[in-house]
Structure 1
Amino acid sequence: MAEAANSVFEITKSLDEQGSGRIKRLLEGGVKIPPQPRVLDELRKLMARKEMDVRLLARVINQDPGLTAILFRIVGNSAYRQHPPMSTVEEILHAVGVRQTFNLVQAISLAGLGAIKKNRQVYEAFWARSHTIAQMAMLIADERIAVCNIFPDQAYLAGIFHDCGVPLLMQRFPTYCAEMQLGAPGQWIDLAEEDRKFNADHCVVGYLVARHWCLPEFICDAIRYHHSINELGAHEARSMVAILQLAIEIHCVDQRMDNPEWDAIRGDVLPELGLSDDTLPEFVDIVLERFQGVANVS
């Protein structure tokens, strides 16, 4: 992948003036964007060949036992119930698809980056939350694929990346975790407080990471606007944002936590997914039943 494609200049060209300025301030302020692991570069090179060899792709993935183990766990999700059990990475590549498997590997790679020493428990809880939301997003996508045309691997990728700006801001600002009360049960980011106290936006940071890691553009946009579905209009990222927000709401329901954002956005989210206030309770039960079934197996 050419360096120019990953440069801040190329990324900010497509943004509005406000977004470009915010990214520039974040980078100048010391927010460090994590580099992509070598495995992703190797897979991209193999996928770019005219004659792609699935055996070589599987060999690269198998070099990382931790990544491989998580990949098997993900494809055990009931979102892939149409496939028979898979016992090798080659079988996953053939059954799920090369591009789809690569999306899953990208998500696993980001979540597997080294933990920060300070606030380690919060950091670990953050990734557990992201993984749960990503799994629920997969199930929503699978249930509503005829309505949204979003596939489980894409939803999982967006679910893992959607809040990835949070740990980067934790690394950059020593007081971020305490100021945002991330250690409190059920507490999550207040965007206005985040902007006021740190002149930062975890959505923009996440967008920058997603662009740097060469995620599909509509997923990058969904990450940037996952708290602003009302600003998207008919944008192709709108369905993905709706999936993410419903996954967050179902996670809150499952954990018996309040979701202060839900009432303001449900009028945008539900129609986008072909749901209504009447059909939502049954849909939530379906997703939770499938999610808990996988959790009990693993």
Structure 2
Amino acid sequence: MHGTAENVEKILGNIQLPACPAIMQDIMAEARKDEPDFNLISRMVGNDPGLSAAVLKLANSPAFRRNSSISSIPQAVSVLGLKKIMLAVNALYLRNSVSATDPDVRAFLEKFWDKSNCTAEAASMLAKALPGISSEDAYTVGLFHDSGVPLLMQRFPDHPFDDALHEGDWESIHRKEEAMLSTNHAVVGNMLARNWGLPADICQTILHHHDLSIFTDLSHQASNMVRSFIAVLLLAEHMASVYMGFEEEGTMGQLPAHAHALNHIGMEPDEFHETALDILGEMRQYRN
């Protein structure tokens, strides 16, 4: 696998990895203080109309909403907390990190980011039903797992990336990319995640997220948390596919790869199917 930073940068040519957003660095710098100034953070968010909308959308999303709707930035910052505010920053700037002029490519990217957001929401909601898995981290994994795809699309516009929307054979996706592009979207996504300062376990999850041997090879170097994130991601991505009409509802928890994920998180297929229907119901109710 062509996984070193030097090889990937050579393959990507003059495509630059999107820089970590300045506002993310500013918020992180404030968050690291002994007494963060939440009013200052609210002003930072409020000065950016796109980010304000993203924060309010996240605060009222099925993944993180409270009993009453949130309508102001200070209220959202207070209720969400800094870690969730960073999720909104990530979601907005990740979506805007790659632009396209071709109408077909723009339409694909819209669907692609919609699926990433749906996957992030489903992963976060599934994580809440499981012990020891952060719902915020699960959301980040869902958001970033395929983030290498738009970057590779810029460099290889003629390569079909439809598998990013339609699951197909989870493991064969990387083999195809390696054969044709000499790298794959997990390697590129891992580089982007590290560039944005995401935690090591999340970066490792992105790197290995199409490698099912992580569940069967006892010598695999990945941590148990990375396995848990990949298990949640595998199931959440399928829920997102069902939500967007790419897959049938009856297949939830029934595909061969799902058996590895369910075994790892200790959930029976029938139990997962019920949980998934509840999650999809909440997502549909929110968007209708």
TM bracket (short chain): 0.7 to 0.9
In structure 2, the partner of 1:94 is: 78
Whole-Å separation in 2 of the counterparts to 1:204 and 1:262: 28
User: Map of 1:194-205 to 2, 5 A cutoff?
Assistant: 194-205=177-188
Asked whether 1:142 is paired with 2:115, we answer: no
Alignment deviations for residues 43-83 of structure 1 (CA, whole Å, 9 cap, x no partner)? 12222333310000111111111111122112212232445
CA 149–257 in structure 1, closer or farther in 2 if over 3 Å, else same: closer
What's 1:25 paired with?
A: 7
Quick one: which amino acid aligns to residue 244 of structure 1?
Answer: L
Tell me the CA shift for residue 96 of structure 1: 2.1
> For the Cα contact (< 8 Å) 1:71–1:108, is it kept in 2?
no
> What residue ranges of structure 2 are gaps of 5+ in the alignment?
215-219
Residue 132 to residue 228, structure 1, CA distance change in 2 (3 Å): same
Q: Which residue of 2 aligns with 1:170?
A: 153
Kindly indicate whether residue 264 of structure 2 is the aligned counterpart of residue 284 of structure 1. Answer: no
Residue 166 of structure 2: aligned partner = 186
Do the aligned partners of 2:2 and 2:183 also contact (CA within 8 Å) in 1? no
Kindly report which structure 2 residues correspond to 1:99-178, keeping only aligned pairs within 5 A, or say none.
99-118=83-102, 119-144=105-130, 147-151=131-135, 153-177=136-160
Counterpart contact for 1:133–1:244, Cα < 8 Å: yes
Tell me which amino acid in the other structure corresponds to 2:236: A
Structure 1 vs Structure 2 CA RMSD: 2.6
Instruction: Tell me, in whole angstroms, the C-alpha distance in 1 between the residues paired with 2:286 and 2:211.
Output: 31
TM-score (norm 2): 0.85
Q: AA paired with 1:126? A: F
Amino acid at match of 1:221: Q
Tell me how far apart the structure 2 counterparts of residues 182 and 162 of structure 1 sit (CA, whole Å): 13
Change (3 A) 1:114 1:199: closer
Q: 1:293 is matched by which residue type in structure 2? A: Q
Is the contact between residue 63 and residue 122 of structure 2 (CA under 8 Å) also seen in structure 1?
no
- Please report the TM-score for the alignment, with normalisation by the length of structure 1: 0.82
Pick one of 250, 253, 257 that aligns with 2:247: 257
Aligned residues: 272
The 8 Å contact of residues 148 and 239 in structure 1, kept in 2 or not, is answered as no
Identity of aligned residues (%): 26
Deviation at 1:235, TM superposition (A): 2.6
Question: SS at the partner of 1:78?
Answer: coil
Report the 3-state secondary structure (helix = DSSP H, G, I; strand = E; otherwise coil) of the residue aligned with 2:17: coil
Look up the equivalent residue of 1:219 and give its one-letter code.
Answer: I
Assess if the C-alpha contact under 8 Å between 2:2 and 2:8 holds in 1: no
Structure 1 residues without counterparts, runs of 5 or longer: 1-17
